Amino acid sequence: MAMLEIDGVSKRYGGLQAVKDVTLRVGKGEIVSLIGPNGAGKTTLFNLITGFARPDSGRVRLEGEDVTGLSPEAVARHGMVRSFQITNVFANMPVIENLRLASYLRMRSPLLSDVFGLRSARDRAARTMKEANGILDLVGLARFRDTPAKRLAYGQLRLLEIAIALCVRPRLLLLDEPAAGLNSREGEKLTELLRRLRDGRGLTVLLVEHDMDLVMSVSDRVVVLNFGEKIAEGTPAEVKENPQVIEAYLGTPFEEEAA
């Protein structure tokens, strides 16, 4: 069974057909990248998947369960997490506290229970702290554990966003242009992290990204949208040489135009 199934999803805004009859599958443990020119419908499709917009037609299923039209909060509770849904970084709080709060949101445990020092609350807090520290190690932010989030560099903040999302224990993680604004070194760190999430944790990732170096190096499959329609799907090598994809980028070499 696929982790995510999108069947014939369409969305129109007035006279604009933003997404037209898109069907795709994301297998468990895959990294699938969604690419295309500006205005191709990528963000709209993300919104339809995660409950920020309701499709006019078609269905969205997570491991066979129909989540079409559910609220963003309900979709997240089912395990499909779009990073900004829960990534409200508290700038003045230490990095580790940002992660702890995300874990509390997942567990829906009352913070007051910790104040009263109940055994179950203490045990839960210890487990939460251990998990948070492990995630900081995973994303490469362990040395910033006690640093206020506002002191992090931009690239480190993007990693913190992913760390917070991981605290919710998603089955499917959706990332919208995580490499935007990163320099080459930060982009390499992000690439390494995504590989670790897939290969080490078996996490499924659906990615919207314009950085073609990242897309081509981490993706198991690439889906290309243009004017709201899916025009190509395949391995990075297959998509890179697809004539329809090259044409969609105004006839220029794919890597140069998409970068």
Per-residue pLDDT reduced to its tens digit, 30-47: 999 999 998 999 999 999
What are the residues whose beta carbons fall under 8 Å from the beta carbon of 128, sequence distance 6 or more? 100, 103, 104, 107
- CATH 3.40.50.300, the chain: domain bounds: 1-79+171-259, 85-169
Closest CA to 59 of 110, 101, 109, 24: 24
1-79+171-259: CATH number: 3.40.50.300
Mean pLDDT of 217-245: 95
37 Rama class: left (phi>0) / alpha (psi -120 to 50) / beta: beta
- Return d(Cα 45, Cα 145) in angstroms, integer: 35
- Return d(Cα 254, Cα 259) in angstroms, integer: 8
85-169 falls under which CATH superfamily?
A: P-loop containing nucleotide triphosphate hydrolases (3.40.50.300)
pLDDT tens-place string over residues 68-117: 999 998 999 899 999 865 556 899 999 999 999 888 766 654 455 555 55
pLDDT tens-place string over residues 157-186: 989 999 999 998 999 999 999 998 888 888
With cut-offs at 50, 70 and 90, classify the pLDDT of residue 152. very high
pLDDT score at 20: 98
Residue type, 114: D
What are the residues whose beta carbons fall under 8 Å from the beta carbon of 223, sequence distance 6 or more? 24, 32, 33, 34, 35, 230, 232, 233
pLDDT score at 118: 60
